[in-house]
Chain A
Amino acid sequence: MKRKRVLNILIAVLILVLTLAFLEKLLMPKYMTEILEGALISEYYKEEYKEHDVIFIGDCEVYENFSPVKLWEEYGIRSFIRGSAQQLIWQSYYLLEETLKYEKPGVVVFNVLSMKYGKPQKEAYNRMALDGMPLSLSKLKSIKASMLPDEEFITYIFPILRYHSRWDELSREDIEYVFRKRKITHNGYLMRVDVKPLDTVPRAKILPNYRFDDICYEYLDKMVNLCKKNNIELVLIKAPTLYPHWYDEWDEKIKEYARENNLLYYNFLDYIDEIGIDFSTDTYDAGLHLNLSGAEKLSVYFGKILKENFNLTDYRNDDEVRKIWERKKVFYYSMKEDQYKELETYGYLKSYNIRREESEMN
């Protein structure tokens, strides 16, 4: 009788835990039809083949501007982008630290725009960078570094504590993707084929000072040391997007840092013509991010630099690897075709960008 009572208690506890786990899954945002950027970080862990020559880390300037499939097609480089919206430098560092638990790439590419942020900016961006990571020491440290004053640590460990009141906002996507999400990126690259030409870029505001915060240098130093310790080449880049403004004073500071630490630094803003980027056709939001055409041009250009500087193996002759990337190419080109069809039918990317439809209606 006593044994039965214990069993009943155990079953009750198990059901309680399962119910809470299910509710958490149900209530967490899925980022499948709106704000796809929220689903980027978690895609890496589903990747069966975690052997990459190059890992990109950083904000939208990496996941919108480089195409790993193009790098594969042109140079046989295996790459993955671990990017998230407005990824802060400490998030990039801890993401890299965590990635190195899974694999050891030959090259890590870091986009330096986030050096301008010395403080956490917004909870929504923190969530997009952190919620997709499985529990690990790196995640815990990243949470601690990222939290805004009014956020609570525990809500990152048990997201149900943060999302519990989403029950009245649940949509079809919350039900449809409760257990399994669809793949939305191409090794971390978020594809957009639409075009919104550059018209004018606002004048850059004068700043009271052009220093980067000490905390940013601290994490950049940590990144350099982590790469050195693991025999990884670190490359610093600034993507060739025109807004937000990248000041010459900032550029000088990064150049100086790269010189002092013997790192390669490419500010692609200086190579726009050489890359062949045309802001009347190669951007989907008037110069903030590149579209597929722009990302492919940049990837071809950067791939050559990577090949020349780091002697990366061309895996296109490796049957096993080629098979994996052939599957990735099928997904890439079918999404490309789907997006062009949508553009032709609706004039914009309906299924990839519901918010735009809403904003145009308003």
Chain B
Amino acid sequence: MANTDIKKSKNIMVLVILLAVLAAGIIIFIISSQPGSNSGNITRTEPSQQASNEPEMPEYYFEYNGVEIAIGAKAAPITEALGEPIHYFEAQSCAFEGMDRIYTYAGFDLQTYTKNDEEYVFSISFLDDTVTTREGIAISDSLDDVIEAYGQDYENSFNQYSYTDNNYKLSFIIEDNEVVSIEYALIVE
């Protein structure tokens, strides 16, 4: 009789343990089944969440020597078509949170970011007046030239005038009514 009691309590204890572990499993399962559950390896998150893998050609993109360069596009075919850069700089950001690469060509910098081991165009910055946008604007043009080429539908913050197309923007910085900076860039909130 005593043996039966001991056996019975042991069985109950095993059952209790199993139920507790099962409950833990169910809790985890329920959490992971939540729609939009944000989880996984946070150390491998990408620098940008906005760019799609194969973006369509946006309204504003840059063209250089017949090579069309769109923000968010895969960088490899573009850098191959552009040829050897004058300078190349790579910056592994702190804790390996992505690698920024900057390719300097005559007149502009092309910056890329890495997502799922693939390089994408992050920004294009003009360095001098030897290059122009597809709409004909170059560094040292006037604000009036910019507005004539792109219209009034800009966002103005300080001395920056930006034209946005989905997740990309084309920005002009104006000083003394003169364009001092032109940049195509991914919008990162």
Contact = CB atoms under 8 A, between A and B. Distances in A.
Contacts of A164: 28, 31-32, 39
Contacts of B127: 203
B166 interface: no
Given A161-B31, A206-B181, A124 B95 contact: yes
Q: Which 9 A-B pairs have the closest CB atoms?
A: A208-B160, A15-B20, A85-B95, A37-B95, A85-B94, A206-B181, A19-B24, A165-B39, A209-B158
- What class of interface size applies to chain A in its complex with B? 35 or more
Given A11-B13, A35-B96, A205-B181, A123 B45 contact: yes
A151 interface: yes
B87 A38 contact: no
B70 interface: no
- What class of interface size applies to chain B in its complex with A? 35 or more
Contacts of B158: 208-209
B91 interface: yes
A128 interface: yes
A127 B41 CA distance: 11
Contact of A206 (B24, B38, B94, B180): B180
Interface of B: 12-13, 16-17, 19-21, 23-24, 27-28, 31-32, 37-43, 45, 87, 89-97, 99, 102, 104, 109, 117, 125, 127, 157-160, 171, 173, 180-181, 183
A163 interface: yes
A16 B24 contact: yes
B38 A152 contact: yes
Contacts, number: 134
A208 B172 CA distance: 9
Interface string A24-38: 000001010011011
B39 A285 contact: no
A202 B40 contact: no
Contacts of A208: 157-160, 171, 173
Nearest to B36: A150
B160 A29 contact: no
A184 B115 CA distance: 28
Interface string A113-124: 000000000111
Q: Which of B16, B41, B87, B109 has the most CB of A within 10 A?
A: B16
Contacts of B92: 285, 288
A286 interface: yes
A35 B43 contact: yes
B40 A169 contact: yes
